[in-house]
Amino acid sequence: MSFTERVLEIKQFLQKTPIFQGVLDEQLQAVANIAIPQTYKKGETLFWEGDEATGFFIVKSGRIKVFKVANAGKEQILHIFGTEEHFAEVPAFDGGSFPASAAAIETSEVVFIPRSAFLMVLQQHPTLAIAMLGTYARHLRRLTYLVDTLSFQEVPERLTNYLLKLSDRNGKADIVELDLPKGQLAALLGTIPETLSRAFYKLSQEGLIEMNGTKIRLTHQLLKRQDGKND
């Protein structure tokens, strides 16, 4: 693929991403010109907490987890980013280091936007910066929700909400399939695998779910509870 073809492909991809929705064609072209496609294998690290933030990322395919590791080695997943989602733009803008680490959950393609080049683009196209303001707000809301969840919800309730999100993502399906290994899911929900297993057992005993390996049926009782919350 020639350089021109690669830039065109990146531009067409960026055009679909929420972060660049409504951006003028010339602004999008300027971003595509500096973008760098990268591929990471499953388990490969994009960056470690404390590394210099040299830019931000947009997921083209696959999934990337952003996480922190405690002194004892326990991992807390802050968020999992999928196709067309972006991450690490805040430290890339303020010039600091990455406040967390990132790694590929599966083989993933990302588009890397280098900080220094992007700041030059913003100087040439200042209105582009307005499009970035919404990203800060969305990330702040996400972190606020994470703090509330870990502070005020017990593990079974966190698990219930996660399963209901999987259901919503699949058109409110009553059968969902876990999209993460249980170790990763435990880290995402702020617990350990043993406690997560007990939470699955508790929900099963209460008649809220029926398990068959990685496939889980959400019973009418659980789905009705969710409908009640949405009323």
98-110 tens-digit pLDDT:
999 999 999 999 9
The residues, ordered by sequence, that sit 6+ positions from 24 with a Cβ below 8 Å of its Cβ are: 125, 127
Paired tokens of 93 = 């803008």
Give 151's DSSP letter.
H
Note the pLDDT tens digit of each residue in 37-94: 999 999 999 999 999 999 999 999 999 999 999 877 788 998 899 999 999 988 877 8
Note the pLDDT tens digit of each residue in 182-211: 999 999 998 989 999 999 999 999 999 999
Q: How far is CA 87 from CA 113, 139, 179, 200, 216, in A?
A: 11, 9, 20, 31, 30
Question: Of the ranges 65-69, 115-119, 197-201, 225-229, which one carries the lowest mean pLDDT score?
Answer: 225-229
Map tokens 């210099």 to a residue. Answer: 52
The whole-number pLDDT of residue 63 equals 97
The whole-number pLDDT of residue 135 equals 67
The whole-number pLDDT of residue 227 equals 59
Kindly report the pTM of this predicted structure: 0.80
The number of beta carbons lying within 10 Å of the beta carbon of residue 163 is 20
Residue 105 to residue 107: CA distance in whole angstroms: 7
Mean pLDDT, all residues of the chain: 88
Residues in the chain: 231
Per-residue pLDDT band for 3 (boundaries 50, 70, 90) equals: confident
Residue 11 to residue 90: CA distance in whole angstroms: 22
The whole-number pLDDT of residue 200 equals 94
The residues, ordered by sequence, that sit 6+ positions from 33 with a Cβ below 8 Å of its Cβ are: 7
The number of beta carbons lying within 10 Å of the beta carbon of residue 27 is 18
The residues, ordered by sequence, that sit 6+ positions from 75 with a Cβ below 8 Å of its Cβ are: 67, 68, 69, 187
**Integer Rg of the chain from CA:** 20
Residue 115 to residue 104: CA distance in whole angstroms: 21
